[in-house]
Amino acid sequence: MANYLLVHGAWHGGWCWKRVSPLLRAAGHEVFTPTLTGLGEREHLMSVDIGLDTHIRDVLGVLDYEDLRDVILVGHSYGGMVIAGAADKAAERIAHLVYLDAFVPEDGKALVDYQPPEFLQMFRERTRTEGEGFKLPCVIPAEAFGLTNEQDLAWVRPRLNPHPLKTKLDAVRLANPKAAQIPRTFVYCNNPAVGPFGQFAERLKKDVSWRYVELPTGHDSMITAPKDVAALLLKLALPASNRES
């Protein structure tokens, strides 16, 4: 039995894993899908003080209070920033890191460092005019996440809550050499490809220390291709000699 901890991306919540988690549980594994502070059903906790470290502590809290070990820690999109920070502080609890079409940060880098400068300007302006100076409304239409099914769009659109801007501006600190030794996989969702994730795919597919996988689906693959995502994650619970490439 493996322990999976699935961390959602910006504007989402734990709800987005609803189609993946039952497939992992059906295979006999434990699955945790926390919602980060200020998002999803925890939107009432939104505040100007929520930063990247808040969300890292959300994940560390699950690891600690659920007493989890040998965890397959998955981060989608912005969630890559979160799992990188959490793994740095709790490397001994993590068996594998999975960056699902996610940011793969370097020490001292913030999410906005991997996006064009005009994005930061747009983020600040939208937050100032629509988000009381600290809440960034969803600046990406649901269709851009790769959603085409009308039922999926009707489910997702009303759940894309404003995201705390500070989390996108805060730099992640990565100083634990043990965290750098954790096995890791990058999953590039490339049909259609979206956002800045191609830069990570280009680098990591050449890096022999990483497992690199491509999924021919959109960015919100846990919604559009849950069986494929679950199958990929289930392989990571197998001994390395039994995994397919």
The pair of three-digit structure tokens given for residue 37, joined into one six-digit string: 């502070």
pLDDT, residue 240, reads 65
Are 88 and 179 within 8 A, CB to CB?
yes
Give the separation between CA 70 and CA 226, rounded to whole angstroms: 23
Are 211 and 185 within 8 A, CB to CB?
yes
Q: Which numeric CATH code is attached to 3-242?
A: 3.40.50.1820
pLDDT tens string 91-143: 999 999 999 999 999 999 999 999 999 999 999 999 999 999 999 999 999 99
pLDDT, residue 242, reads 60
Percent of residues, the chain, with pLDDT higher than 70:
97
Catalytic residue among 21, 47, 77, 245: 77
The domain limits of the chain are 3-242
Is residue 147's pLDDT more than 70? yes
Arithmetic mean of pLDDT, 22-27: 98
Read off φ and ψ for residue 110, nearest 5 degrees. Answer: -105, 165
pLDDT, residue 238, reads 81
Burial (0-12, 13-18, 19+ Cβ within 10 Å), 139 = middle
Nearest-Å Rg of the Cα atoms of the chain is 17
Q: What residue type is 173 in one-letter code?
A: R
Instruction: Provide the whole-model pTM.
Output: 0.96
pLDDT, residue 244, reads 57
pLDDT tens string 58-82: 999 999 999 999 999 999 999 999 9
Nearest to 110 by CA among 49, 38, 36, 167: 167
Strands 211-215 and 184-189, by their bridges, are parallel
Active site residue 77: yes
pLDDT tens string 166-200: 999 999 999 999 999 999 999 999 999 988 999 99
pLDDT, residue 241, reads 52
Are 35 and 103 within 8 A, CB to CB?
no
